[in-house]
Amino acid sequence: MPLPPPPNLLVFRAIRAIDPAVALDATVDVVIESGTITRIAPDASSSVLRADNAIVIEGRGLWLLPGLVEIHAHLREPGFEHKEDIATGLAAAAAGGYAHLCAMPNTSPVCDTPEAILRMLDRARSLGGPRLHPIAAVTSGLAGTDLTDLRALRDAGAVAFSDDGRCVMSGELLRRALLAARELDAPLIQHAEDHTMTVGTVMHEGAVSRRLGVRGWPREAEDGIVARDLEIAASTGGHYHLAHASTRGSVRLIRCALERGVSVTAEATPHHLLLTDAQVATSGALARVNPPLREGEDVEALRAALQDGTVSCVATDHAPHASEEKARGLLDAPAGMMGLELCLPLMMRLVEAGALRLERLIDALTVAPSRVIGIAAPSIRVGVRADLCLYDPQECWSAGRAGLRSKSRNTPFLDDTLRGRVRMCIADGVICFELAS
């Protein structure tokens, strides 16, 4: 069922509002009327607190942030609803503080036609909550042979194009796709993997894979594709976005390309920023992801690149799987990790450790991903529709005991004690998630 209409009057009183995009970090009152932010100032609520229809939220100890923007998630519908569906995926996004979410096209059937785009958008609109932005396939059926009708997909509502877990291996196809996407002012999102180098691999190639006796996935399988792709992006002028960067080599290549003026952006996931391949030895299949967790030097390179903006976005690559699928063990389980509900508190670990500035993290979760897909970034400004995330930076909780909205539990962070929790999410002026007291 659709969510109820926005309250006529919602007041966050004496709250720390943080929005680096407008140089805001202050304790203020934020007044929202009929879904639109109307006042931001100390004591701005004094004239409305006695209104009968006012919902007042005391802000002591809480933060008000712009609503988060996710540009890489798998909602699994249609075809794999036992893992996740649009309803549970959007509910999980709301519980994670996301006002916008991009859905990847590797569904069954693949999201490679305008009709598939429109069905997804209609389904999301019927549910309410975070706004869904479909990402359409680059090639028909993700087969890597024939380009989809990118213009028709864009006209139907696609914000970007990607073959997601399958690399566009043909350089000529990639060149044509980047040229077409440039004309449509849309990014091409590449999963950089030379599949000829990764057959039968389940984790990073290194000391841990050798100790476990399993075939490893070398860095060069990513780096070689990124190097080739950046040359094609430079020649075409198309916007190339690297999904889930995982290697120090990718970071170096992107940094050089940016210095040359190539239109390139990149994202990193919380798990690639926080974990190394050593996690596979303790968590097994729960730590099997694609691309794999790398070594400490890769993690440090990604963190530095996120801090200086070479990697502009944080994206979860939310990849839900059923428990019985992950229970098959490291060699046979599907790759992927859920993450929508855990991202913000996990990324705050880097802020608390001094490895990432808070304002850079907020930018990487709001403005930067919005810029990639070409939407207006959520912001705490007078006159805009409210896309907001209410966050308690001190609350400690465990995902495994919290009653997650996602159908999935496939993460090695499940039993961690997390510090910081989303308490409310507002999308397009409507409260779409509120944590019970």
Q: What is the DSSP string of 342-356?
A: THHHHHHHHHHTTSS
Euclidean distance between CA atoms 427 and 94, whole angstroms: 8
3-state DSSP percent of the chain in helix, strand and coil, to 5: 35, 25, 40
Catalytic residue of the set 317, 363, 387, 392: 317
213 Cβ partners below 8 Å, 6+ apart?
none
| β-strands 388-398, 417-427 pairing | antiparallel
**Do 153 and 163 meet the contact criterion of CB atoms below 8 Å apart?**
no
Q: Answer yes or no: 387 catalytic.
A: no
Query: 209-218 long-range contacts, Cβ below 8 Å, gap at least 24?
Result: 209/277, 211/281, 212/280, 212/281, 212/330, 214/330, 214/331, 217/291, 217/292
Euclidean distance between CA atoms 340 and 392, whole angstroms: 17
Match 């400690």 to its residue by tokens.
396
Closest CA to 212 of 279, 310, 144: 279
Which helix (H) or strand (E) covers residue 133, if one does?
strand 131-136
Closest CA to 244 of 374, 335, 133: 335
**Do 163 and 139 meet the contact criterion of CB atoms below 8 Å apart?**
yes
Q: Which amino acid is at 142?
A: L
Instruction: List the structure tokens of 135.
Output: 């990402």
Burial class (CB in 10 A: 0-12, 13-18, 19+), 362: buried
Upstream peptide bond of 134 is cis (omega within 30 degrees of 0):
no
Instruction: List the structure tokens of 341.
Output: 């509900």
Q: What is the DSSP string of 194-261?
A: -GGG-TT--EESSHHHHHHT--EE-THHHHHHHHHHHHHHHHH---EEESS---HHHHHHHHHHHHTT
**Do 101 and 70 meet the contact criterion of CB atoms below 8 Å apart?**
yes
**Do 69 and 370 meet the contact criterion of CB atoms below 8 Å apart?**
yes
Q: Which residue numbers are catalytic?
A: 317
